[in-house]
Amino acid sequence: MLNEVIDFLQALIRAKSLSGEEKEAAELIRSKMLTLGFEDVLIDDFGSVLGRIGQSNPKVLFEGHMDTVDEGNPESWTVEPYAGIRKQGKVYGRGATDMKGALASMIYSGYEAKEFIENSKGSLYMAFVPHEETAEGAAIKHVIEEWVHPEYVILGEPSDLDLCIGHRGRAVMEITTVGQMAHASMSHLGKNAVYELFDVINNIRKMKLKEDEFLGKESKALIHVSCEPRKGPVIPDRAKAMFDFRIVPATSERMLLQKIRKQMDLANVEGGVETVTKTLRCYTEKNLPVKYYFPAWITQDKAFIESMRTALHFIDSLEVRRWLFSTDGVYTAGEAQIPTIGFGPGMDELAHQPNEFVTIKDVKTAIHGYKSILQKLLR
């Protein structure tokens, strides 16, 4: 059976699935779930692949994303990024760790636990979503609002087989400064919006951020700068900067906007700040609206956490910890307030790296872990 799981994982890696281009991977998953006897298997309007075993309560949702980031510079890879090469006990390729190893493990754990689930007091639902890399929480929001509202959510993001119970939130803010156009040879007649923006950026770099005892310190990163007009010898009258903030539960969207506006006031500049919004195109040709404020979360249900720790007792040196990156937990736990934990094969630090891999041993252990979780929650 393990060889069959690895064959499926290799096929998933070969199905290149950048955000918004997950169709081939989705069809592979849909076909596999049908073959393995899942019920009500379907692809929703936004491209999420859904299926279940059983239909009674409590409902447990296994969740993951199908999309991956780009492979980056091919010269950084020592293997073909989309070949799904298996060697020396590892499977290599973009998405092996983040997170196609978990998708394969989750699907086959459901298959292997099918008889138990059907005779239990509960059911297993699975949702594998698009566009998580570009907008965590956006696609799963529609799944939970329109398809199933589970009692528990298990995220399969790479955790090095640890138990993850939260992470910082993410907010992407765009700052605009306004100046006055002038000919570059007569710059004294204008006001350079880029210089105005630099003053704000420097203030934000010095801005004090909060800290959470479990999640750690907030952080900020300047990720994009632009100005207009961009052509000709012209002093720009508009400049924009985009910041990625990693935030703790004590920081609301309103509070963050106020803090940034204060830095703009201190710089004495004209302009504004807003939370970035976008409309993402799905492979189903449906538009997915996104607001780039994703709350931090920590699962507070101590009994749930302890039951998950007990379920995974067979894993040596199991840690209960946080993730550094962001996940769909921003919606399931951060907004919908559903008890959520993360457990998945693969090392966190390999995500988005060249020569990404997952060990076959980790995949095997993850299958065992997912089945043990089901036995604990659905007994």
Q: Could you tell me the residue ranges of all domains in the chain?
A: 2-167+296-377, 169-281
- Topology given in CATH for the domain delimited by 169-281: Alpha-Beta Plaits (3.30.70)
Tokens matching residue 375: 């036995």
Given this model, what pLDDT does residue 231 score? Answer: 86
Backbone torsions φ then ψ of 127, nearest 5 degrees: -140, 120
Torsion, Cα 281 251 209 133, to 10 degrees, reads -20
Spatial CB neighbours of 372, under 8 Å, sequence gap ≥ 6? 311, 312, 314
pTM: 0.95
**CA–CA distance, 222 with 194 (Å, rounded to integer):** 14
**CA–CA distance, 148 with 126 (Å, rounded to integer):** 10
Given this model, what pLDDT does residue 69 score? Answer: 98
**CA–CA distance, 106 with 64 (Å, rounded to integer):** 9
Query: Which residue reads 């189903």 in tokens?
Result: 284
Given this model, what pLDDT does residue 36 score? Answer: 99
**CA–CA distance, 78 with 92 (Å, rounded to integer):** 10
| Domain 2-167+296-377, classified CATH 3.40.630.10, yes or no | yes
Given this model, what pLDDT does residue 118 score? Answer: 96
DSSP letter at 327 equals: -
Given this model, what pLDDT does residue 230 score? Answer: 85
Given this model, what pLDDT does residue 209 score? Answer: 96
Given this model, what pLDDT does residue 172 score? Answer: 99
Given this model, what pLDDT does residue 16 score? Answer: 99
Ordered mean pLDDT values, 10 residues apiece, the chain (379 residues): 98 99 99 99 99 97 99 97 98 99 99 97 98 98 98 99 99 98 93 97 97 98 96 94 98 98 97 98 98 98 98 96 98 98 98 98 99 97
Given this model, what pLDDT does residue 379 score? Answer: 85
